[in-house]
A and B are shown apart, each in its own frame.
Chain A
Amino acid sequence: MSKKIVAVTACAAGIAHAYMAAESLEKAAKEMGYDIKVETNGTIGAENVLTKEDIEDSDVAIIAADINVELVRFTGKKIYQTKSIEAIKDSKVLINTALESGEIFGKKGTKVGDITLGKTKEDGVIKHLMNGISYMIPMCIAAGLILAIANVFAFQKDELGRIVNWGFDTSTTMGFFMSKMFQVGQVGFKLMIPLFAGFVAKSIGDRPAIAPAMIGAYIVNDPEILGTEAGSGFIGAIIVAFIVGYMIKGLKKIKWPKILQPLVPIMILPLIATFAISVIVLFVIGKPIAGIMNGLYDGLTYLNNTHASAPIIMGAIIGAMIGFDLGGPVNKTALIFGTTIFTDTVAKYGIQQANFVPGTAAQAAISVAPLGVWLATILFKDKFTSTEKVSANAAFAMGMVGVTEGAIPFVASEPVKMIVANVAGSAVAGALVAKFGCKFYGGIGSPLGTIVGYIEQPIPIITWVFSISVGVLVTALIIGFSRKKVEG
């Protein structure tokens, strides 16, 4: 079948390589019976410019360029990037390679150098953790919001409206009801840990791993059973889930007698693993992890209470990580860390003293990159092509609902500048919400979160939006000032 190929060639001097590459590609495609249109970006300017339709109808776009060419227009299409010299060397080979191994531009998982954007490795540690998190988040939000609402009724005020005491006045109907709701929220937080561990383990060892991991994680987080001061929370749950997951994976490899085989997944594996993980938790790892975690959270709380800058630095680091690879492993690590610290400290200190900083910073930073790109196209109209502007509008829509991946096409076409801009803006947003003491209980992480969610903040609605906006502006300005005008 005939293929439609589009290509862009460019070189540093803009006279020789780009045109030889173009001629070479045209000749090879003709010989192979394929349609081709080649845009040359030379010192004379762009010639034979690809139209929207050309790109839309193409099977693959070959970018044979030694300098930056505008790539955002290829978002969603298969592209193959190489140097101009490869086209001159052997265009037939290049065309075949491009058709076979071209990749969709701007999708999640786009690679820039060693950084993977928007996606974590298949079958990696992060993937297992994210599986657990994705099952846990609904519970986290439901329990967190109920807890937050109930909490409002726990502030007892005097006639002047000053808060005088924290605790439910159970003598009133409302106070009694809300005290129960508060307990409901706490149950959610208590269940969250085993639920999380169960689904992390499922991601590794499939269904038989769920039960042992849930039981093991419950034990590792229960101070009474462990005989410790506090449970070991998320970190304990992660360790349990990985031990169980790989234990089940190993046990599955044993050649069980045929007569037992139907029983293996529903009885034998869960039974052995539950027994084993319980013994391991109770007598080996439970106490040490609990001790370490206890010390860690006490230390973090101490730092936050004694050093005013500690939360700001933490917020900036988490924000920077969120903006770095837009949903890639670094971003996910920051999200996991934020969730971990939040739920563990809620369990340990109660909602009043919980550490909201990393979780809140992560949520504030999440929409900075896509919104920053969008704002840059508004503020610096003459520095973007019309296709880039369309992509930026899509990034805006995604950013407004907290989807950070909207910025990926832009980062993929200009990695260094864009990562610097995103990291800076995201860090600013993270640091500001930490500085102002915003507390993110649940909802969506974007400016809209101030309405669609529950965020405690010094000035209702405003502080959150302000902090994010400053971050967005920083990102937009860095992008804008680092770009050249687009030649019309």
Chain B
Amino acid sequence: MNKEVFDIEHIYFDNNSETKDQVFERFASVAFKQGYVKSKEDYLKGLHQREDEVTTGFKDGIAIPHCKNSTVIKPGVFLIKLSNPIEWNSLDGKPIKVAFGLAIPEDGNAQHLKILSSIARKLIDNEFVNMLLEEDDTEKLYNIVSSIEIK
């Protein structure tokens, strides 16, 4: 997998956040610090807007907070493990334990964007989701995500 899109530094454990808003806040600053967005505020606003349109909380504790926004510099994937289960208005009503944060530029490298959509596809796979939920080792998490077949 392309390291520009997903690298081991993109995996972090959020032990403090107790609400969705706090998760967004932390994610936006990480994305900003690592140089994926021009403005943290604009990106944060975009995340909230997207969430208002449709929930990004899916089933079995997985969420994909994301937005397509002009403030995004390049496509990026971030894996956030949450210590506190977060109420997310998810499809099955369950709280969220793992979040994939996506930074989506308005115009980006098609191959890189495909990595993002392939990860989204993979989240339908129960086995994959269970591995993410159970694994707490950064290195192993990185290997799991990196092994996703890009299609």
Give the distance to chain A from B10, nearest Cβ to Cβ, in Å: 16
Are B56 and A16 in touch, CB under 8 angstroms?
Answer: yes
Do B124 and A15 have beta carbons less than 8 Å apart? Answer: no
Residue of A nearest to B108 (CB): A43
Report how far A88 CA is from B91 CA in the complex, Å. Answer: 9
Of chain B, the residue at the smallest CB distance from A83 is: B54
Q: A22-B121, A44-B110, A44-B113 are in contact. Are A15 and B104 (CB under 8 A)?
A: yes
* Residues in A neighbouring B64, C-beta threshold 8 A: 16, 20
Chain A nearest CB from B86 CB (Å) reads: 18
B57-94 vs A: 1/0 string, CB under 8 Å? 01100001011100000000000000000000001000
Q: Once the chains are docked, how many angstroms separate the CA of A40 from the CA of B116?
A: 14
Residues of chain A lying within 8 A (CB to CB) of residue B67: 13
A43 B104 Cβ-Cβ under 8 A: yes
B130 at the interface (CB under 8 A from A): no
Residue of B55, B67, B102, B120 most packed against chain A (CB within 10 A): B120
Q: Tell yes or no: B140 within 8 A of A by CB.
A: no
B104 touches A12 (CB 8 A): no
Cβ distance B46 to chain A, nearest Cβ, rounded Å: 9
* Alpha-carbon distance between A159 and B118 when the two chains are bound, in angstroms: 88
What is the total number of residues of chain A having a CB less than 8 Å from a CB of chain B? 25
A23 and B124 contact, Cβ closer than 8 Å, known pairs A15-B104, A16-B102: yes
A12 touches B68 (CB 8 A): yes
Q: A15-B116, A44-B110 are in contact. Are A20 and B124 (CB under 8 A)?
A: yes
State the Cβ distance, B48 to closest chain A Cβ, in Å.
13
Are B120 and A19 closer than 8 Å at their CB atoms?
Answer: yes
Instruction: Determine whether A14 belongs to the interface, using a CB cutoff of 8 Å to chain B.
Output: yes
Provide the bound-state CA to CA distance between A83 and B53, in Å: 12
A83–B54 CA distance with the chains assembled, in angstroms: 10
How far apart are the CA atoms of A112 and B117 in the complex, in Å? Answer: 31
By the criterion of a CB under 8 Å from any partner CB, how many residues of chain B are at the interface? 27
| In the bound complex, CA of A19 to CA of B100 (Å) | 14
Write the nearest CB–CB distance from B97 to chain A, whole angstroms. 18
Q: How far is the CA of A12 from the CA of B59 in the complex (A)?
A: 20
Complex: chain A residue closest to B100, CB-CB: A16
Q: Is residue B132 within 8 Å, beta carbon to beta carbon, of the partner chain? A: no
Q: Is the CB of A20 within 8 A of B120?
A: yes
Judged by a CB distance under 8 angstroms, whether A265 is at the interface is no
Question: Judging by beta carbons under 8 Å apart, are B58 and A66 in contact?
Answer: no
Q: Smallest distance from the beta carbon of B150 to chain A beta carbons, Å?
A: 12
> In the complex, A395→B108 CA distance in Å?
39
Report if A89 contacts B (CB, 8 A). Answer: yes
Q: Is B114 interfacial (CB-CB < 8 Å)?
A: yes
Q: Which residue of A lies closest to B109 (CB)?
A: A44
0/1 string, A82-108, CB within 8 A of B gives 1: 011100110000000000000000000
Q: Which of A12, A14, A88 contacts B58 (CB 8 A)?
A: A88
Instruction: Report A-chain residues with C-beta under 8 Å of the C-beta of B116.
Output: 15-16
Whether, in the assembled complex, B37 has its beta carbon less than 8 Å from a beta carbon of chain A, the answer is no
Is B50 an interface position by the 8 A CB rule? yes
B104 touches A13 (CB 8 A): yes
| Residues on A with beta carbons closer than 8 Å to the beta carbon of B118 | 19
Closest beta carbon of chain A to B76's beta carbon, Å: 11
CA distance A11 to B58 in the complex (A): 15
- Distance in Å: Cβ of A386 to nearest Cβ of chain B: 24
Min CB–CB distance B107 → chain A (angstroms): 9
Q: Report whether B68 and A27 are in contact in the complex, using a CB–CB cutoff of 8 Å.
A: no
**Which residue of B53, B56, B114 contacts A44 across the interface (Cβ within 8 Å)?**
B114
Interface positions of B (Cβ within 8 A of A): 50, 53-56, 58-59, 64, 66-68, 91, 102, 104, 108, 110, 113-114, 116-118, 120-125
A-B contact list, 20 entries, CB within 8 Å: A12-B68, A13-B50, A13-B67, A14-B104, A15-B66, A15-B104, A15-B116, A16-B102, A17-B120, A19-B120, A23-B123, A23-B124, A23-B125, A27-B124, A42-B117, A44-B113, A85-B91, A88-B59, A88-B124, A89-B91
